Amino acid sequence: MGYEAHRWSVVCLNRLLMLIQGLLLSSHQTIGIEKIPTDQPIIVVSNHQNMLDVPPLIWYFRHQHAKFISKKELGRGIPSISFNLRKGGSLLINRNSGNTAIDQITRYGHHINKKNHAIVIFPEGTRSNSASFSPFKMGGLKALIDAMPDAVIVPFVVHNNYQIFENGNFPLKLGNQLKYSILDPFSPEGLDVDSLKDRLEDLYQNELNNLS
């Protein structure tokens, strides 16, 4: 299977996964799709509530060839998601490898910058499984910014996805109001790591409050 055939198979599968959630009587609301840049590389920064955050990211950033930075453990065991992480051009890293992981992210960022594609990073480092988010870890994001001088940051805010698995893997919770916000893109130029962290965390907290 060629790259484009694989890519669109993954896009359609993840759109189907979103639609299937309707069987749980779940609704989707998405704000800000028109803000997605179409002519430059982008760094999509997303909070992470559970594995169902991935399908909307693949769907809404389909024209930007969204790729992911993920821990290597997710390359196995999750139907469709693991396969795409391994075969779809995303980067799987060992989070305990320190500078080796940062070097991998830097090289990968150069590649994405040249392609004018999108790279998705979850700076919390793991799923929150709740309405709140954990403090952002900035090492990987800083490496991407340094490697992608042409990129802008696009914040993607996930709200209520955690509710689906609130009772565990079974029974899944019904009647979830799933909400996604794509906030205004901005350039990280001139922002030090601490200022960028504060700005992002403020953006997410304010938007999550607005969506509640």
133 or 119, which is more confident: 119
pLDDT score for 61:
97
Main-chain phi, psi angles of 3, to 5 degrees: -60, -50
Q: Which of 104, 192, 195, 120 is nearest to 155 (CA)?
A: 120
Q: Which of 144, 159, 204, 148 is nearest to 53 (CA)?
A: 159
Over residues 43-59, the pLDDT tens digits come to: 999 999 888 899 999 99
pTM: 0.91
Over residues 144-169, the pLDDT tens digits come to: 999 999 999 999 999 988 888 877 77
How high does pLDDT run on average in the chain? Answer: 89
pLDDT score for 2:
83
Over residues 182-197, the pLDDT tens digits come to: 999 999 999 999 999 9
87 or 188, which is more confident: 188
Task: Kindly give, in sequence order, each residue whose CB lies less than 8 Å from that of residue 159, ignoring residues fewer than 6 positions away.
Answer: 131, 178, 179, 180, 181, 207, 208, 211, 212
